[in-house]
């Protein structure tokens, strides 16, 4: 919904007979008086009467209506963010609405005609009829916020079934609010493999069931990856904290990235993730703290994208400068769209060995390739000193000094662990000054984010997460806890059976993938 042009006087309506209105000794006449003074004190400025959401839906009557619309006065009932509406306001008038509190947090000094909890502390112009004798102390905005949002309330954590801090509750509400904003109109999805439809319904169909098939004018649309689609269609891909198990084994993801600009593995065009990384070149202190805490949680738990099992602690690696070379699926979209001159595992190993003749080169084939489900099998003898066919990638990374890769996510996971990373392709994390980049030129990537900024963009801003226990939208922190504890997205009996069939007929994997 478009916002009005900035510079208006925001007059906030409330539902008739609301308890906070009655407690303020206010009535219809109070709202009439407030509108009179808003016009009198701001001659020539447009007056915006903000209708209460329940009034807009016809559930409860408000104090303002069509009879109050005169020259320069407009009723505004569109569903817009209160914060966005406050940013465009020249002044704010209220009786006792919580939007008055939000106006203070947004930097306004509201005109208050009632006696809400936020009045009488020196942060508003108080024009109510009831004296606020006990409120003789002047507070800062931070003090008012602390009292109202941290000290007074008791917050609940629905994921861990316990009392929560304000910060944890805020992240839970942010996840819920994001899901509602993106999903409440319902989605259409085309080109989705049959096994993915149920997990997608759980992630995106909570508010209105998804429809699989062609686009509809009344719904936004999504497709998987870079499948052919009309302009404006969102593109879906796995997130970077995906699951306990492989997608090729039909394990549903608890993290997905919905991108309206492009897709993160195609560097030829902008993507939402690329935009987030550039934006996070500057972080607020709280964003830095959160991203750094998330990185620490990931490292402490040994969490990675697929979380396949035990690490290489029992494997004796040779001494020396250890370089990990993660094998990739050679027909993967990230190779097709993001690789440079080197586009195969054998060529990658040859380049690493040529550039590092004295190093200990450790090659780890991709799990899908090891299972015979995807292309990319090679004979690494003579190029790699060690071939690791087992071991979780998080534990392997702890044992090496650096990583050379085309476009593998392992490079990003290595950065989180403080390892040196050399990129010969153009993955989303390359070109920002955090890797040694030997791949294709990336002229758009001029920003220089910190590691915390990169992690915030890739793990907090871009993905959506679904808690596999409560089936509610959740934060990245909850997702890490679930992955670390071994909890996975539920996989039906049919998918488990189909996954077993893959092992018997890997050569025909294209039939079900």
DSSP state, residue 67: G
In a domain, 91, yes or no: yes
- Among 122, 150, 178, the domain-final residue is 150
pTM of full prediction above 0.75: yes
Q: Which two tokens stand for residue 427?
A: 């993955």
Number of residues written out for the chain: 513
Mean pLDDT for the stretch of residues 229-248: 89
DSSP, residue by residue, 92-131: EEESS-HHHHHHHHTT---EESS--TTTTSSSSEE--SS-
Residue 108: closest CA among 128, 130, 90, 120: 90
Residue 268: closest CA among 147, 441, 462: 441
Residue 498, pLDDT above cutoff 90: no
In a domain, 426, yes or no: yes
Domain harbouring 422, CATH code: 3.40.50
The CA distance from 202 to 235, in Å, is: 17
Residue 256 backbone dihedrals phi, psi, to 5 degrees: -140, 150
In a domain, 366, yes or no: yes
pLDDT tens track for 285-344: 999 999 999 999 999 999 988 887 654 444 568 999 999 999 999 998 999 999 999 999
The residue with tokens 């319902």 is: 186
In a domain, 1, yes or no: no
The total of other beta-carbon atoms located within 10 Å of residue 452's CB is 19
In a domain, 216, yes or no: no
In a domain, 53, yes or no: yes
**To the nearest whole number, what is the mean pLDDT of the chain?**
91
The CA distance from 478 to 469, in Å, is: 10
Residue 377, pLDDT above cutoff 90: no
- Among 150, 182, 217, the domain-final residue is 150
The CA distance from 389 to 384, in Å, is: 13
* Structural contact between residues 337 and 376, judged by C-beta atoms closer than 8 angstroms: no
* Structural contact between residues 491 and 250, judged by C-beta atoms closer than 8 angstroms: yes
Question: Which residue blocks in 11-165 are alpha helix, DSSP H?
Answer: 19-23, 28-41, 53-56, 82-87, 98-105, 141-145
* Structural contact between residues 338 and 266, judged by C-beta atoms closer than 8 angstroms: yes
Residue 512, pLDDT above cutoff 60: no
Residue 14, pLDDT above cutoff 80: yes
In a domain, 253, yes or no: no
Based on the structure, what is the number of domains in the chain? 2
Residue 322 backbone dihedrals phi, psi, to 5 degrees: -95, 125
pLDDT tens track for 196-235: 999 999 999 999 999 998 888 899 999 999 988 888 899 9
- Among 401, 428, 450, the domain-final residue is 450
- Cβ burial of 101 (10 Å; 0-12, 13-18, 19+) is buried
In a domain, 402, yes or no: yes
Q: Which two tokens stand for residue 429?
A: 């994390």
pLDDT at residue 66, as a whole number:
93
**CB neighbours of 70 closer than 8 A, spacing ≥ 6?**
none
Residue 495, pLDDT above cutoff 60: no
- Of 298 and 511, the structure prediction assigns the larger pLDDT to 298
The CA distance from 213 to 186, in Å, is: 13
The CA distance from 195 to 440, in Å, is: 35
CA dihedral 241→243→244→245, nearest 10 degrees, is: -120
Q: Which two tokens stand for residue 193?
A: 């493999």
The CA distance from 79 to 73, in Å, is: 19
Range of the domain at 143: 8-150
């Amino acid at each position: 919904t478009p916002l009005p042009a900035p510079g208006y006087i925001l007059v906030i309506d409330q539902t008739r007979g609301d308890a906070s209105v009655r407690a303020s000794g206010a009535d219809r006449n109070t709202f009439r008086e407030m509108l009179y003074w808003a016009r009198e004190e701001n001659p020539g400025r447009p007056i915006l009467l903000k209708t209460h959401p329940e009034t807009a839906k016809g559930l409860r009557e408000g104090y303002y209506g069509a009879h109050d619309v005169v020259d320069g006065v407009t009723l505004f009932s569109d569903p817009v963010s209160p914060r966005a509406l406050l940013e465009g306001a020249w002044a704010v008038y209220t009786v006792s609405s919580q939007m008055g509190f939000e106006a203070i947090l947004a930097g306004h000094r509201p005109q208050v005609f009632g006696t809400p909890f936020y009045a009488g502390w020196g942060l508003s112009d108080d024009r109510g009829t009831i004296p606020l004798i006990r409120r003789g102390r002047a507070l800062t905005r931070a003090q008012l916020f602390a009292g109202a949002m941290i000290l007074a309330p008791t917050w609940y954590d629905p994921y861990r079934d316990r009392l929560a801090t304000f910060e944890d509750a805020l992240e839970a509400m942010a996840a819920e609010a994001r899901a509602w904003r993106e999903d409440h109109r319902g989605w259409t999805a085309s080109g989705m493999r049959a096994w993915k439809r149920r997990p997608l319904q759980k992630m995106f169909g909570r508010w209105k069931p998804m429809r699989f098939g062609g686009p509809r004018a009344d719904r936004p649309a999504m497709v998987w990856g870079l499948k052919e689609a009309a302009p404006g269609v969102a593109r879906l891909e796995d997130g970077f904290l995906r699951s306990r198990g492989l997608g090729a084994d039909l394990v549903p993801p608890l993290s997905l990235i919905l991108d309206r600009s492009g897709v993160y593995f195609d560097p030829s065009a902008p993507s939402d993730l690329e935009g987030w990384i550039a934006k996070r070149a500057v972080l607020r202190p709280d964003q830095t703290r959160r991203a750094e805490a998330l990185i620490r949680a990931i490292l402490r738990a040994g969490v990675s994208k697929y979380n396949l099992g035990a690490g290489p602690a029992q494997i004796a690696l040779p001494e020396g400068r250890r370089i990990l070379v993660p094998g990739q699926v050679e027909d993967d979209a990230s190779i097709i769209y993001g690789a440079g001159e080197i586009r195969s595992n054998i060529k990658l190993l040859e380049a690493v060995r040529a550039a590092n003749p004295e190093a200990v080169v450790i090659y780890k084939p991709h799990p899908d390739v090891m299972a015979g489900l995807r292309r990319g099998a090679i004979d690494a003898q003579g190029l790699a000193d060690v071939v690791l066919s087992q071991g979780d990638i998080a534990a392997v990374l702890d044992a090496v000094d650096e990583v050379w890769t085309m476009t593998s996510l392992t490079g990003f996971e290595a950065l989180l662990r403080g390892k040196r990373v050399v990129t010969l392709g153009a993955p989303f994390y390359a070109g920002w000054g955090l890797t040694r980049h030997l791949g294709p030129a990336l002229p758009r990537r001029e920003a220089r984010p910190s590691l915390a900024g990169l992690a915030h963009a890739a793990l907090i801003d871009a993905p959506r997460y679904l808690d596999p226990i409560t089936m509610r939208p959740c934060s990245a922190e909850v997702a890490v806890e679930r992955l670390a504890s071994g909890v996975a997205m539920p996989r039906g009996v049919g998918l488990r059976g189909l996954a077993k069939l893959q092992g018997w007929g890997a050569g025909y994997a294209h039939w079900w993938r």
